[in-house]
Amino acid sequence: MVEVTVTPQSSLADRPVQIRVRGLSPFQLVTLRAWLKDEQGECFQSRAFFRADRAGEVDPGLHAALGGSYSGVWPMGLFWFLQPDTLFRRLVKRDVAGSPFRIRLEVFDGLCLGTDPREQPLGSCEAERWYVGPGVHRVPIREGRVRGALFLPP
């Protein structure tokens, strides 16, 4: 059974996480895909191709991506290289305090270039990326033409 994990599963958006895939065949070629829908319903995704090690594991922090949205060793590459399905869209979090981005991570056998709904992932998990920590208080700023927000720690 293939298992995809993100540790920690819930974290602040500027904190690193560890992504691991276990239960693959030794040296199996797989595609690791990350995707999310923003607050307007726009889909953003990234993918990277990996060859599992002799234990049947993939760790983007240790193993180099062979291609896809990026190549080389990038522990957070699947999150950093998210691209919109629709051109000229930007990934922007509007409701920073109320909800996280929920990023779905999936692993597919072989090189998976499309998003064919018939393709079933070998394993998947979800990560939450928060933009405001617990107990942080947001104070809107409006002074003349200045607009902003002050975030105060607990």
Q: Could you list the residue range(s) of the whole structural domain that residue 135 is in? A: 3-152
What's the CA gap between 66 and 57, in Å, rounded?
15
Q: Is 125:4 a contact under the CB 8 Å cutoff?
A: yes
> Does position 115 have pLDDT exceeding 70, yes or no?
no
State residue 96's pLDDT score. 86
Q: Is pLDDT above 90 for 119? A: no
Specify the number of domains making up the chain.
1
**Average pLDDT taken over every residue of the chain:** 94
The C-alpha atoms of residue 118 and residue 153 are separated, in whole angstroms, by 46
Please report where in the chains the tokens 């920590």 appear, as a residue.
Answer: 133
CATH of the domain at 134: 2.60.40.2240
**Whether pTM exceeds 0.95:** no
